[in-house]
């Protein structure tokens, strides 16, 4: 079965000679899957999405939708957006203020050349079904400007779903909503997309959105796709120091490789001693590395079989549901998170600290700041 | 902040309490009296004229016999109907053409990758500065049925087709091409402020570019299109120069030319003129009111203060086609008329029997310029124009500053009335201002009539809304707290204005005064009724030359006027830029 979306070596330069906004990105999306592109602003995720939509013109590479090449500059192929059979939800909603909810949703059915020829009753039925799906059937005849932000975004979603395109593109659709609404619509969005069996490409800078919505997450930085994997893999087996940091592994210990067997490495942390860590990289003995660790994976007050250390609590920040400790471990600083409403550790004396080898990830120290 | 300023104000108030408590009402009364004198009194006199049949020159004001009969009689006069109908056709047709050109231009400039867009956008504003009469004269030279340059060229190429701009069609075309920038100004900014994803959403939905433009883009900027077309219609309705130059030879009268003809009658029909002027004013007022309502209404396209990435459509090779269209417009509206004026001004006789004769250098000389400057009135009119312009700029600028500050920066009671009176002239065409001032002063012995000052006062009143509006914008840019800080430092109100407001608002003040100066020196409509042989101005003298029938002299003087205007525009532009820079250093 062919991919719903296949991107091969996509590159986009806005001005000749400048740094590319998208730099050799490749991935595919099987039918029915939702892929989320995640990354900080300016990482090229939106540009990638807009290239897929046909709103930006790639510099090189190939994009195929449903087995059909829609963009390949080397061969002069460029299919305009309207013939790509895609739906798109914009960050600014982009619902047309001079129309009612029904007119907005019916618009694609009326104006599509491909798959056109919808009869009037067809259009009404399809619009009603879709509005039902997004929970707006009571609002069909309202002018769109009288709706709230969340409702407008539902209209935009209905508008892109109503003609059942092969692929739906979502460009930070929740970022203009307030926090509470965002969480609700996020869960609902996944339900609706899964219920309709849509293939989706979703762009966001919000990890929590990415984790909940995506079947797979692609982390991007500086135009490059760093890792494309299911959410739990992104969170537990980040491919490099940036992905680890971006997904929340904010602790970094510096050291030197003593030895490696397979994906297990032993690292000398200097004054602290040795630490065992997992690594996806082909590290050699003597290399400088950074060991990344999530604050919630460090176990304060426990003395395990391996990777057991002692540390001193420098500062304690009680946050109600959790407590954050700044600890000093042989001259290296760590942040440790303790869940629960009770803060059990105080700042006097030495405390045991275990860093589970599975949760310590070693990456080559290339001298580039990860943040 | 409000708490501190509220606490600080009474204290400073106490120091200068006695004069200030009386000061504010006195100041408001003063401004209201000045505005009433400038705006209300002439309008009342106009109404008085329309509603009576007594001639102020002959009868004085003692015999006021008010009667609606006179006004009603005018309303049912066939000639008035014809003039009204002609005006609607000419301005309506002109507006349709202006909307077409203006929309196309704004789309090309804002939404496409047409080469030299910046230059096109700048150059397309030139028609706004061309005095209407000069444009009319130039198109008369180009498009007159017998000697028109266009017809000569057509004959030479061998096209069996002749144009006649001395016609309704000519009037419509010249109106349309010269007032398209008004539509462009509104629609271009609306397009610029429109969220591009609204159009992208339509494209992704499967609609063609054509469908997108007509179902999404244009409906979204409809308020701007409507506002722009209403404005251009109103401006055309009040223009005298173009219909005087192109309509008169074919005996086509619009409201403005008809009003002037009434006063040129012997004996002058001042009462009838006043009645028709009121008719013109009512139509204008309704349209202006409608336009303001549209602008005040919530516009679809502009979403609150969001910056959008400009979306330029890649036209590929077609971008040279759009460039060609834009260049063609600029050639028609700027280059062709200028060329026509130059040829007519320097040729001894305009009759050109064939195309080759056009390049016969023996035919060219300075004879028309010599004739123009041999006339003592020419230099006099230039001086008069500059003098009127200077007086208007200084008096109008000072008054607008006082009004703008009082309306925007104080909470004195009565400031809304001041604002209303100062905005009122927006609905009064220049020609009507002229008739109203004529009625206001002609009967008063030893009054203003026959002096430069009546022209200047009429101009101040006529352009008050534009000047106040321009100044208010610069007041709004100065944060209120800057003033409050000076008050707290112990400065009085006048001291604060002198040391804080005036220096900060200087670029705005200079810009408004120069705008006023330029507007005043090209004004024709209101001058027509107020000049005497001693106080004639350039625009009026040009009309004299034109009606005298000597095309060479008319063209020569048109060129003189254009050059003076261009030099002044360049100078004022340079001046206001200098002012903006020096204040940037201060700020």
Q: Which of A69-73, A111-115, B7-11, B259-263 has the lowest mean pLDDT?
A: B7-11
Q: Which residue has the higher pLDDT, A309 or B504?
A: A309
Separation of alpha carbons B128 and B522, rounded Å: 11
CA distance A111 to chain B (A): 5
Q: What letter does residue A158 receive in the DSSP assignment?
A: H
Chain A residues in contact with B201 (beta carbon < 8 A): 88, 90, 94-96, 156, 159
Q: Check CB contact under 8 Å for A113 and B222.
A: no
Contacts of B197 in chain A (CB under 8 A): 90-92, 94
CB contact under 8 A, A111 and B314: no
Residue A111, chain B, CB below 8 Å: the answer is yes
Determine the average pLDDT of the residues in B126-145: 89
Dist. CA B500–CA B497, nearest whole Å: 6
Q: What's the pLDDT score for residue B373?
A: 86
Which residues of A fall within a CB distance of 8 Å from B314? 57
Q: Is the pLDDT of residue B368 over 90?
A: no
pLDDT for the residue numbered B584: 45
Q: How far is B441 from chain A (nearest CA, A)?
A: 52
User: Is A55 at the interface with chain B, CB within 8 A?
Assistant: yes
Which residues in chain B have Cβ-Cβ distances shorter than 8 Å to A53?
200, 204
Q: Which of A173, A176, A220 is nearest to A200 (CA)?
A: A173
Look at residue B185 in the predicted model and tell me its pLDDT: 87
Question: Is A65 in contact with A86 (CB distance < 8 Å)?
Answer: yes
What is residue B299's predicted lDDT score, i.e. its pLDDT? 54
Residue B55: its pLDDT value, please? 66
Which pair of structure tokens corresponds to residue B277? 């002027």
Asked if A158 and A134 count as a contact pair (C-beta separation under 8 A), the reply is yes
Residue pointed to by tokens 């992208």:
B200
* Minimum-distance CB partner of A97 among B205, B300, B314: B300
B96 and B314 in contact (C-beta within 8 Å)? no
**Spatial CB neighbours of A205, under 8 Å, sequence gap ≥ 6:** A38, A39, A40, A41, A45, A172, A175
Contacts of B216 in chain A (CB under 8 A): 96
A55, A112, A163: residue with CB nearest B200: A55
Please tell me if residue A125 touches chain B, with a CB cutoff of 8 Å. no
Determine whether the interchain pair A163/B206 forms a contact, defined as Cβ–Cβ distance below 8 Å.
yes
The pLDDT value recorded for residue A302 is 86
What is the tens place of the pLDDT at every residue in B55-87? Answer: 666 555 556 667 777 788 888 889 999 999 999
Q: pTM of the predicted model, to two decimals?
A: 0.81
Q: Do B203 and A82 touch (CB under 8 A)?
A: yes
Asked if B242 and A147 touch (Cβ cutoff 8 Å), the reply is no
Nearest to A98 among B208, B219, B306 (CB): B219
- pLDDT tens across B216-229, in order? 988 988 888 998 99
User: Is A76 near chain B, with CB under 8 Å?
Assistant: no
Taking the C-alpha atoms of residue A184 and residue B447, their distance in angstroms, rounded to an integer, is 77
Report the pLDDT value the prediction gives residue B472, as an integer from 0 to 100.
84
Q: What pLDDT is attached to residue B578?
A: 65
- A163/B contact by beta carbon, under 8 A: yes
What's the pLDDT band for A103 if we cut at 50, 70, 90? very high
Mark yes or no for CB contact B200/A80 under 8 Å: no
Residue A366: pLDDT band by 50, 70, 90 thresholds? confident
- Predicted local distance difference test score (pLDDT) of residue B414: 85
Interface ipTM: 0.82
User: Which residues make Cβ contacts (< 8 Å) with residue B439, sequence separation at least 6?
Assistant: B42, B45, B46, B48, B49, B56, B270, B274
What is the arithmetic mean of pLDDT over B185-212? 87
A207, pLDDT greater than 70: yes
What domains can be seen in chain A, in order of their start residue? Answer: 5-236 (3.40.50.300), 241-364 (2.40.50.140)
Query: What is the average pLDDT value for chain B, to the nearest integer?
Result: 83
Nearest CB among A54, A82, A90 relative to B197 is that of A90
pLDDT over threshold 80, residue B436: yes
User: So what's the pLDDT on residue A50?
Assistant: 93
Is B215 in Cβ contact with A107 (below 8 Å)?
A: yes
Residues B257 and B247 sit within 8 Å (Cβ to Cβ): yes
A108 in B contact zone (CB under 8 Å)? yes
Q: Is residue A248 within 8 Å of residue A207, measured between CB atoms?
A: yes
Instruction: Fill in the DSSP letter of residue B501.
Output: I
DSSP A201-212: EEEES-HHHHHH
**pLDDT tens column, B291-339:** 888 877 755 544 444 555 666 777 778 889 989 999 999 999 999 999 9
DSSP string, B291-346: HHHHHHSPPSSB-TT-------B--TTHHHHHHHHHHHHHIIIIIHHHHHHHHHHH
**Confidence band of B8 (pLDDT split at 50, 70, 90):** very low
Percent of chain B with pLDDT over 70: 88
Structure-model confidence comparison of residues A166 and B582, the more confident one: A166
- pLDDT of B388: 94
Q: Which of A53, A84, A111 sits opposite B207 (nearest CB)?
A: A111
Total CB pairs under 8 A between chain A and B: 80
Q: Are the C-beta atoms of residues A216 and A36 closer than 8 Å to each other?
A: yes
How far A159 CA sits from the closest chain B CA (Å)? 8
Cβ separation A53–B216 shorter than 8 A: no
Collect all residues of chain A within an 8 Å Cβ-Cβ radius of residue B211.
111
Instruction: Confirm or reject contact between A164 and chain B (CB < 8 A).
Output: no
Domains and CATH numbers, chain B: 23-51+371-587 (1.10.3720.10), 76-303+319-361 (1.10.3720.10)
Q: By the CB < 8 Å criterion, does B297 face chain A?
A: no
Q: Please give, rounded to a whole number of angstroms, the shortest distance from the CA of A36 to a CA of chain B.
A: 20
Mean pLDDT of A227-234: 94
Query: How many whole angstroms separate alpha carbon B126 and alpha carbon B364?
Result: 28
Candidates B203, B206, B314, partner chain A, best to mutate (most A CBs within 10 A): B206
CA distance A350 to B345: 101
């Amino acid at each position: 079965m062919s991919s719903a979306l296949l991107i091969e070596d996509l590159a986009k330069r806005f001005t000749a000679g400048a740094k590319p906004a998208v730099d050799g990105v490749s991935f595919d999306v099987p039918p029915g899957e939702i892929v989320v592109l995640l990354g900080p602003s300016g990482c090229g995720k939106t540009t990638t999405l807009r290239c897929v939509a046909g709103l930006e013109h790639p510099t090189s590479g190939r994009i195929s939708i449903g087995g059909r090449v829609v963009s390949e500059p080397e061969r002069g192929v460029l299919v305009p957006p309207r013939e790509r059979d895609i739906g798109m939800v914009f960050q600014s909603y982009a619902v047309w203020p001079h129309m009612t909810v029904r007119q907005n949703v019916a618009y694609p059915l009326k104006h599509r050349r491909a798959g056109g020829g919808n009869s009037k009753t067809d259009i009404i039925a399809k619009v009603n079904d879709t509005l039902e799906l997004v929970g707006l059937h009571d609002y069909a005849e309202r002018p769109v400007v009288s709706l709230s932000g969340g409702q407008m975004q539902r209209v935009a979603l209905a508008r892109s779903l109503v003609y059942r395109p092969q692929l739906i593109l979502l460009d930070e659709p929740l970022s203009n909503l307030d926090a509470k609404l965002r969480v609700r619509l996020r869960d609902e969005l996944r339900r609706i997309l899964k219920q309709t069996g849509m293939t989706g490409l979703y762009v966001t800078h919000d990890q929590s959105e990415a984790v909940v919505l995506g079947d797979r997450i692609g982390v991007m930085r500086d135009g490059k796709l760093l890792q494309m994997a299911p959410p739990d893999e992104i969170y537990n087996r980040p491919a490099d120091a940036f992905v680890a940091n971006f997904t929340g592994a904010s602790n970094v210990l510096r050291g030197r490789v003593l030895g490696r067997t397979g994906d297990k490495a032993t690292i000398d942390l200097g004054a602290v001693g040795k630490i065992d860590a997992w690594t996806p990289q082909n590290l050699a003995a003597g290399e400088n590395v950074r060991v990344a660790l999530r604050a919630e994976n460090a176990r304060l007050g426990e003395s395990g079989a391996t990777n057991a250390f002692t540390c001193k609590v420098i500062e304690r920040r009680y946050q109600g549901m959790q407590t954050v400790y700044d600890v000093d471990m042989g001259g290296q600083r760590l942040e440790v998170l303790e869940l629960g409403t009770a803060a059990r550790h105080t700042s006097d004396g030495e405390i045991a600290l275990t860093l589970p080898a599975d949760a310590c990830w070693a990456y080559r120290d290339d001298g580039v700041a990860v943040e | 902040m409000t708490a501190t300023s509220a606490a600080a104000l009474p204290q400073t108030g106490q120091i200068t309490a006695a004069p200030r408590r009386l000061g504010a009402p006195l100041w408001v009364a003063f401004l209201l009296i000045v505005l009433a004198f400038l705006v209300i009194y002439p309008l009342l006199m106009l109404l008085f004229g329309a509603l009576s049949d007594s001639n102020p020159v002959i009868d004085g004001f003692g015999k006021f016999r008010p009667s609606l009969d006179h006004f009603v009689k005018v309303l049912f006069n066939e000639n008035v109907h014809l003039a009204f109908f002609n005006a609607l056709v000419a301005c309506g047709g002109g507006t349709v053409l202006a909307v077409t050109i203006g929309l196309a231009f704004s789309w090309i400039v804002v939404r496409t990758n047409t080469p030299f867009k910046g230059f096109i956008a700048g150059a397309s504003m030139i028609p706004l500065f061309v005095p209407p009469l000069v444009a009319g004269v130039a198109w008369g030279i180009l498009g007159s049925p017998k000697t028109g340059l266009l017809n000569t060229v057509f004959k030479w190429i061998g096209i069996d087709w002749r144009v006649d701009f001395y016609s309704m069609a000519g009037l419509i075309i010249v109106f349309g091409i010269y007032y398209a920038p008004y539509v462009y100004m509104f629609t271009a900014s609306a397009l610029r402020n429109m969220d591009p994803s609204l159009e992208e959403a339509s494209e992704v939905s499967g609609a063609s570019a054509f469908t997108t433009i007509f179902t999404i883009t244009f409906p979204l900027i409809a308020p701007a299109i409507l506002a722009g077309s209403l404005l251009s219609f109103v401006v055309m309705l009040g223009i005298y120069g173009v219909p005087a130059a192109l309509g008169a030879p074919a005996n086509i009268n619009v409201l403005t030319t008809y009003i002037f003809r009434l006063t040129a009658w012997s004996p002058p029909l001042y009462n009838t003129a006043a009645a028709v002027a009121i008719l013109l004013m009512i139509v204008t007022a309704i349209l202006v009111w409608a336009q303001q309502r549209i602008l005040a209404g919530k516009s679809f396209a502009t979403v609150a203060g969001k910056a959008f990435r400009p979306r330029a459509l890649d036209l590929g090779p077609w971008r040279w086609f759009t460039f060609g269209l834009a260049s063609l417009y600029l050639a028609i509206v700027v280059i062709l008329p200028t060329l026509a004026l130059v040829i007519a001004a320097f040729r001894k006789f305009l009759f050109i029997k064939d195309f080759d004769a056009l390049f016969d250098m023996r035919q060219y000389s300075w004879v028309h310029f010599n004739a123009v400057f041999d006339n003592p009135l020419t230099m006099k009119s230039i001086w008069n124009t500059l003098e009127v312009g200077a007086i208007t700029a200084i008096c109008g600028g000072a008054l607008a500053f006082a009004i703008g500050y009082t309306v925007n920066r104080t909470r004195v009671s009565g400031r809304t009335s001041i604002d209303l009176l100062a905005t009122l002239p927006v609905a009064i065409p220049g020609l009507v201002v002229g008739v109203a001032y004529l009625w206001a002063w002609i009967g008063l012995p030893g009054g203003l009539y026959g002096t430069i000052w009546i022209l200047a006062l009429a101009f101040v009143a006529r352009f008050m809304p534009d000047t106040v509006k321009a100044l208010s914008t610069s007041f709004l840019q100065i944060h209120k707290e800057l003033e409050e800080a000076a008050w707290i430092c112990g400065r009085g109100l006048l001291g604060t204005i002198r040391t804080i407001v005036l220096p900060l608002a200087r670029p705005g003040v200079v810009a408004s005064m120069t705008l006023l100066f330029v507007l005043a020196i090209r004004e024709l409509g209101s001058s027509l009724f107020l000049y005497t042989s001693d106080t004639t101005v350039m625009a009026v003298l040009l009309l004299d030359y034109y009606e005298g029938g000597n095309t060479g002299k008319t063209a020569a003087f048109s060129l003189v006027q254009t050059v003076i205007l261009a030099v002044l525009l360049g100078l004022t532009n340079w001046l206001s830029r200098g002012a903006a820079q020096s204040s940037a250093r201060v700020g």
